Amino acid sequence: MIAFPVLILGARSDIGRALARAYAARGATVILAGRGDLTDDCSDLMLRTGGNASTVAFDVTDGAPDAFFQSLGTVPGTIVLVAGLLGDQAKSAADDAAAALVMETNYTGAARYLLAGARVMQGTANACIIGISSVAGDRGRGSNYIYGSAKAGLTAFLSGLRNAHAKTGLHVMTVKPGFVRTQMTAGMKLAPPLTASPEQVADAILRAHEKHRDVLYVLGRWRLVMTIIAAIPESIFKKLSL
């Protein structure tokens, strides 16, 4: 059972928008949280689904998660953390500020908001926290180790949060989408068999939410791919261009 309202942190992203539509179509009251003006997104969502939606300003890097949840005026039944930043590996490796932004967006800021969310959701029936991590966090690779390390931190955090709340009734799910056709990946060469659409991601998350899954690889073949990559000995792995 899905608990309402559904709070989507990072609602202006392609996946965030797809999730909002998918949850609203199931009858959920949706709170769209993101940077900038979300009025058009909210109006479009209500027009498409006939559901109830509202908006709230949100920035995962603002450092005030407790104040954010206090300002909502309601306790979310479900939180979906979508906010993320791929960044540019070369720029992040050369510039501390760029690296810090990637790390804070994908891990420290995200984790702090989910910690604050868990605090306010105590005792909420069927409460669920869903964090969108990445297969990039399954093993550090030279091509994206700053982004990947931040997502690895988020994956470990979600696992620990899930374990800590195993007996409290708060469920925590980790999502690893793999490649997704979004604005963030525009211009990148993506392998079609390993690439999902935002709508596929949203549908998979809803199904997994209803089934009380702990970890979701949106495309199951990614689990095999990352198992193989994780098994490569370090002496060989460091010689590969991955």
| Nearest of 191, 231, 204, 184 to residue 80 by alpha carbon | 204
Instruction: Check if the beta carbon of residue 147 is closer than 8 Å to that of residue 136.
Output: yes
Write out the two tokens for 145: 């180790």
Write out the two tokens for 124: 């909420």
Greatest CA separation for the chain: 56
Write out the two tokens for 74: 């309601």
Alpha helix ranges (H) inside the chain: 14-25, 39-49, 65-72, 89-94, 96-103, 109-120, 145-164, 198-210, 221-231, 234-237
φ, ψ for residue 239, nearest 5 deg: -95, -10
The active-site residue, picked from 23, 107, 113, 147, is 147
Known active-site residue 147: yes
Q: Which residues are identified as catalytic?
A: 147
